[in-house]
């Protein structure tokens, strides 16, 4: 019986598969990947699993990174300013009350032509001053009537009256007429506010009946085809090193020409002026709009240009990008970067040539938990 039991145990061990000891691998089994299903999720190591269907729904687009040598760029803060040659301001020359011009008060955004009367200012004066002007006007009008009658009599007696007397009478009448016109304008006249340039009304600082002081700004006019930005450089920056600049307006990058630099510091900063001429570029941003521009220098820098929208922030507020490492896996990579232009940045560390960087939908991937 013992022999039969021993043989049955040997037969049982022979027909069972052999198992490897702990720490050994016979190589017969393949490592099985976990079944993640079709739900986007972030794995324990930070990698995001994103099925193909979800990628198409989220509009994920990638672009390979490639090393390039580009012009060095510094980012400066600035603001949109008026072109001094193509813009203008309309100010009141004297204190008074605002009245409408021939076409009424211009509206914001309306176009005006050079020399067009935008409004009128009726001078303000006290009752005593107006009474004195009215009395002076009455005296001048009476003296003008007497001068007209005297000139008429002298002309009737032209054969017996010296010519110099007639000329003196004519001169006196002309002088009185000019004085009457001047005093009449002071009593009931108004000062016309005329457009100094052709363009678009950018600001209206008055309404009908408003009382303004002398020198007060009433209208601002800008050229719709001219854009200028003034930036302040707080670091030492030679004007000879500046080539141009780029300004980001939404998804669009606008190239700006370097117009010049001031020879005097303003609040310990060097003012730099940039501009561009083009169809309706002056209407892209309002006057006084604070902006950030990327100033291109003559020196160069080496790195990997990528789209600005590819940059996201991690939970630790570190700049990073998402790199597609396989068909459905995206890996976060912290990067160091510097500005390049309004639409791109230059990555100097954290990426390698050929990495497929997510340029569209990076923020959506960053939200997956």
C-alpha span between 129 and 325 (Å, rounded): 86
Please state the rounded mean pLDDT for residues 229-252. 84
Please state the rounded mean pLDDT for residues 200-215. 90
- Which carries the bigger pLDDT value, residue 111 or residue 248? 111
CB 42 within 8 A of CB 48: yes
pLDDT recorded at residue 187: 58
Residue-wise pLDDT for 253-309, tens only, equals: 888 999 988 888 888 888 999 999 988 888 889 899 999 998 888 888 888 999 888
What Å distances lie between residue 116 and 103, 104, 197, 215, 325, CA to CA?
A: 10, 12, 9, 19, 65
The yes or no reply on domain 42-70+302-366 and CATH 3.40.50.150 is no
pLDDT above 70 as % of the chain: 86
Sign of CA dihedral 139, 141, 145, 151: positive
At residue 169, φ and ψ (nearest 5 deg) are: -65, -40
CB 64 within 8 A of CB 307: no
Average pLDDT, the chain: 83
Residue-wise pLDDT for 60-104, tens only, equals: 999 999 988 888 888 899 999 999 888 999 999 888 889 998 888
Residue-wise pLDDT for 242-262, tens only, equals: 888 988 887 778 889 999 888
Residue-wise pLDDT for 25-52, tens only, equals: 444 444 445 556 678 888 988 899 999 9
At residue 294, φ and ψ (nearest 5 deg) are: -105, 110
CB 291 within 8 A of CB 76: no
* Strand, coil or helix: 296: strand
**CA nearest 166: which of 150, 149, 154?**
154
Could you state, in order of their start, the residue ranges of all structural domains in the chain?
A: 42-70+302-366, 74-83+223-299, 88-222
**CA nearest 342: which of 301, 291, 274?**
291
How would CATH label the architecture of 74-83+223-299?
A: Beta Barrel (2.40)
CB 120 within 8 A of CB 104: no
> With 90 as the cut, is the pLDDT of residue 332 above it?
yes
Q: What is the CATH number of domain 88-222?
A: 2.40.50.100
């Amino acid at each position: 019986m013992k022999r039969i039991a021993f043989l049955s145990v040997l037969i049982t061990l022979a027909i069972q598969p052999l198992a490897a000891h702990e720490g050994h691998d016979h190589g017969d089994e393949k490592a099985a990947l976990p079944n993640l299903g079709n739900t986007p999720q972030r794995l324990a190591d930070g990698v995001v699993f994103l099925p193909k269907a979800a990628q198409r729904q989220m509009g994920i687009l990638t672009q390979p990174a490639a090393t390039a040598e580009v012009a060095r760029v510094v980012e400066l803060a600035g603001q949109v300013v008026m072109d001094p040659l193509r813009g203008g301001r309309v100010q009141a020359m004297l204190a008074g009350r605002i009245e409408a011009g021939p076409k009424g008060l211009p509206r914001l955004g309306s176009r005006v032509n050079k020399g067009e009367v935008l409004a009128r200012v009726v001078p303000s004066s006290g009752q005593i001053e107006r009474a004195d002007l009215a009395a002076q006007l009455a005296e001048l009008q009476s003296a003008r009537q007497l001068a007209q009658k005297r000139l008429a009599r002298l002309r009737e007696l032209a054969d017996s009256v010296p010519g110099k007397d007639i000329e003196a009478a004519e001169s006196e009448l002309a002088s009185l007429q000019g004085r009457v016109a001047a005093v009449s304008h002071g009593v009931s006249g108004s000062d016309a506010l005329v457009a100094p340039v052709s363009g678009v009304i950018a600001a209206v600082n008055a309404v009908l009946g408003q009382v303004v002081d002398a020198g007060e700004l009433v209208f601002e006019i800008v050229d719709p085809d001219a854009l200028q930005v003034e930036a302040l450089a707080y670091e030492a920056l030679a004007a000879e090193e500046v080539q141009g600049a780029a300004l980001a307006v939404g998804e669009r990058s606008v190239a700006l020409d370097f117009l010049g630099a001031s020879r005097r510091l303003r609040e310990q900063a060097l003012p730099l002026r940039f501009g561009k001429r083009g169809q309706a570029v002056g209407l892209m941003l309002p006057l006084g709009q604070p902006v950030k521009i990327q100033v291109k220098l003559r020196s160069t820098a080496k790195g990997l240009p990528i789209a600005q929208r590819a940059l996201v922030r991690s939970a630790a507020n570190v700049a990073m990008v998402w790199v597609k490492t396989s068909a459905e896996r995206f890996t976060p990579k912290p990067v160091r970067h510097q500005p390049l232009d309004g639409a791109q940045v230059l990555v100097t560390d954290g990426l390698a040539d050929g990495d497929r960087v997510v340029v569209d939908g990076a923020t959506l991937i960053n939200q997956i938990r």
